[in-house]
Amino acid sequence: MAPPAQLANCVRGTFRASSFRPTLWRQRCLYHSYEYSQPPPFPPAEAAILSSAISHVPAFGFTLDALKLGARDAGYLDVSTNLLPRGVFDLVNYHLVMQRLALKDSVQFPTEAEQGTGKKIGIGAKVRTLTLARLRANEPVIHRWQEALAIMAQPSYAPPSFAELAKLADEIWFLAGDTSVDTSWYTKRASLSAIYSATEVFMTQDTSKNFAETEQFLDARLEDVRKFGGFLGALGEWADFTGHSAVNVLRSKGLRI
């Protein structure tokens, strides 16, 4: 979802983790729509290689080996991986994009009649369900996700990684039915971006059954924002803390970031 769609051009935001104040720029807006079909997110050859390579990630990680095996499975020569200018980051990005796009079909909310309770599911509850569903989509590769985080943390890949995180937060709020058009449009997405990234790092360390502790961690962070989310200063300090914690967790595992 975006701010009011009746505007031909509008202001979109991207968020600095250090301050959590939206940095704004003007561009033509991209709007979600159920009325128009969206073009495929990747060209056919790239999609064929990447979709095949993803199946090799559990065994080989987010590596060139996984890409080469994917190319072979798709009927291409190993050299065809040159179609992917960003190498293994393109494999990471493929997972991010496809799992984001899958949310609209993988999570369906019952109507009031189907629930039989006469009560609507609140937007907050929908945000939680969608966020948890996206986190659980990492389960098949969670033992390799620290590798992905290290790749995304590289200076050349941090901007597109952060842009994709912002798109995920936007998608979740949109699918949850958020219709805000004021400044809260930005703060909601900024806070959810921080919550998701912190929970994702936590999940890489979670050894509890069915990632129960990750779910508890997510609930605690959502409750924090419910109580204090309107106060940007406090939220900025919290974002700084979680950002540094994420880096420290990865460095403790020997990753050079």
Domain definitions of the chain by residue range? 9-39+122-143+151-252, 41-116
> 198: helix, coil or strand?
helix
Q: What is the pTM of this model?
A: 0.77
User: What is the tens place of the pLDDT at every residue in 187-221?
Assistant: 889 999 999 999 999 999 999 999 999 999 999 99
Distances 188 to 34, 41, 77, 160, 246 between C-alpha atoms, Å? 23, 26, 45, 20, 21
Q: What is the mean pLDDT of the chain?
A: 79
Closest CA relative to residue 187, chosen from 171, 166, 208, 202? 166
Residue corresponding to tokens 């999940």: 203
User: What is the distance in angstroms between the CA of the first residue and the CA of the last residue of the chain?
Assistant: 33
Amino acid at 151: I
> 24: helix, coil or strand?
strand
Structure tokens at 64: 């060139």
Give the mean model confidence (pLDDT) for residues 81-88: 93
- Rg of the chain on CA atoms, in Å: 19
- Give φ, ψ of 26 to 5 degrees: -100, 135
